Amino acid sequence: MRTVTFILSAAVLVAAASAQTTYSELHGYTPTSDVSSQAKIDFDQQMVMDAVAEDPVNFALAKDKYMNGGNSAGRTLQKFSTTIGDEGGATMLKMASDSAISVVQAYASYWSSNPISGDSSVTCKSGSAVTGCPNYADTIVMAALNNKGDYMLDTPGDRDVVRAQIVKKGTAYHAVWLYVVGRLSEAVTQAAKFDTTTKKMMDGKTAEETVGMAVDEAWAYHTGSQNANLPMKLAKSRGVNFGTCSAIPDALLAAFKDAQKYAATETFDLAMFTKAATDIVPLMTIPIVQGCLRYAYRADGKVMDFAAADAADLAILAEAHIFCAGLYPQMAAADAKVVRDMVDPTKKMTIVARTIKDTLERNYGVMSISPGQVGEWNAVDYECATGGASTAGSSLLLAAASVLVAFVGGRHW
């Protein structure tokens, strides 16, 4: 009897362990797969940032860390951009405002039709799954690293700060940002293969091992191991600039948890999972909008000319340029051109922050965001209460989910 009892007890313990396997909490999110290595991509990002912070800027070292990494096994910042086009599920996640349009394909198509003038040795390349320019972030970052095209400046010198900012933001908020979307898209692809009768994937694996792992990886890449230098950190930083405080980071965490919940075997729901994954992209977009607006306001009245601008203005101009570039694929064609021309160093236009703000707001509908979610920029950071709300008042808290701004106009693609 004791032998039987032992066997039964062991079986119960094994089953319980299998059903409840979790890993260390990662900034409020508890993954069901081991993504500790993936999360260490933030150390690669930190090494890139450290290299471009040297005086003079060490672009050679930054390039090495961008291309070769070393902290996240088998992954590099460059590969995020150069491999996404070959990932079979990369086009499955659609824009919240238009279920016919793939988010990743939208970015690849826009940058294929409207490429930067960069390094001729690093050009747009269609992948096996994504056509156009899925590697657009790499074309931007490599142009800055190699001092080519739109980013060719006398170096070394005080203008190196321009290329440094393009590299820092191009890696974190273009290459990593789109790869996170790609992992969520892969999760949607895998979710469609779940058999609700057997409660297994078609290949016999569990939902947690496939769909759940893709969501876990998306979170790991979005936050990093230290919650620094990557898209989630931007959401936190911009919150104090716009009075939204912790609203967007909190909403992102909740959205990822929802996706994880509906990707679990016992609570699996394809429709709810797809909605949860889709809803993450607009939340990820808000900090990019805030970044574009923040630097547009700080550069208001200045001429966008990297070669002639005062040294004190260069970083601000570069950040306006690279942040706004993250939004064009989600805008109407004419509106994207208005903003892009204004922050294009080859156009040498005077930046008018109000024009950029009005133009972006016309496109909040297609981005599936609202003015209340973006908040209002203030030159002096808002004071955020302990709970994350702004002391400035309820008008700047996270808006309701409904989006009131209508989208009018067509895209470039």
CA distance linking residue 235 with residue 216, whole number of Å:
19
Q: What is the DSSP letter of 150?
A: G
Q: Give every CB contact of residue 14 below 8 A, 6+ residues apart in sequence.
A: none
Structure confidence at residue 156 (pLDDT):
81
Structure confidence at residue 84 (pLDDT):
97
- Is the Cα dihedral 59, 64, 67, 72 positive or negative? negative
Tell me the CA distances in angstroms from 78 to 45, 97, 163, 284, 367, one per residue in order: 11, 30, 17, 20, 26
CA distance linking residue 93 with residue 188, whole number of Å:
6
Percent of the chain with pLDDT over 70: 88
Which residues does the chain have with pLDDT short of 50? 1-18, 20, 391-409, 412
Prediction pTM value: 0.91
Structure confidence at residue 6 (pLDDT):
38
Nearest to 163 by CA among 14, 277, 54: 54
Q: Where are the domains of the chain?
A: 36-396
- Pairing relation of β-strands 200-201 and 194-195? antiparallel
